[in-house]
Amino acid sequence: MSNARRAEGVDLAARSRARRRALQALYAWQLSGSAIGGVIDQFRHEQDMEVADVEFFEDLVRGVERHCAELDGGLLPFLGREVLQVDPIERAALRLGAYELKYRPDVPYRVVINEAIETTKRFGADHGHTYVNGVLDKLAGEWRKAEYRGR
């Protein structure tokens, strides 16, 4: 694997796939209201998880579920509406990005934002990615102040 695709032993492509699966799982969880463990099990059986970083996927999904109220509270000042009024795909992408910004300092904030933009482009509405970009950029300015200022 090339150095561009591997950083400090992390398979970046597998992490990107894990984020895409996590976005889908969070979307399903938001709409169904099912227990997060059941959603994860369903994804393990129905999705091609062999090409994804499964440990990272589970951390993201369980982390968003565990810290959802805190993440929503951090996002709220930048949304321009209530959290539940945000499109479900965009809401899942924002929660996922917020979780990484808050609890995954090993992932640079620019990577968090870029991955959120790309997954929203893939699964969301036509211009949803611009909204996600703007919200997460503002949140990064708050939650990753030192890293954000050093850009």
pLDDT at 19: 96
pLDDT for the residue 3: 39
- C-alpha dihedral (69, 65, 128, 120), degrees to nearest 10: 160
d(CA 6, CA 14): 10
Q: How many residues does the structure list for the chain?
A: 151
- Distance from C-alpha of 82 to C-alpha of 53, rounded to nearest angstrom: 32
Q: How many CA atoms lie within 13 A of 58 on its CB side?
A: 9
Beta bridge partners of 6: 11
Enter the tokens of residue 113: 């934002």
Domain ranges of the chain: 6-149
Q: Over range 29-57, report the average pLDDT.
A: 86
**Band of residue 1 on the pLDDT scale cut at 50, 70, 90:** very low
Q: Is 6 helix (H, G, I), strand (E, B) or coil?
A: strand
Residues of the chain with pLDDT > 70, as a percent, come to: 92
Contact (Cβ atoms closer than 8 angstroms) between residue 27 and residue 97: no
Give how far Cα 63 sits from Cα of 4, 94, 132, Å.
Answer: 28, 13, 19
Tens of pLDDT, residues 12-40: 999 999 999 999 999 999 999 889 999 99
Out of 3.30.390.30, 3.40.50.300, 1.10.940.10, 1.20.1440.230, which CATH number does the structure's domain 6-149 have? 1.10.940.10
What pLDDT does residue 101 have?
98
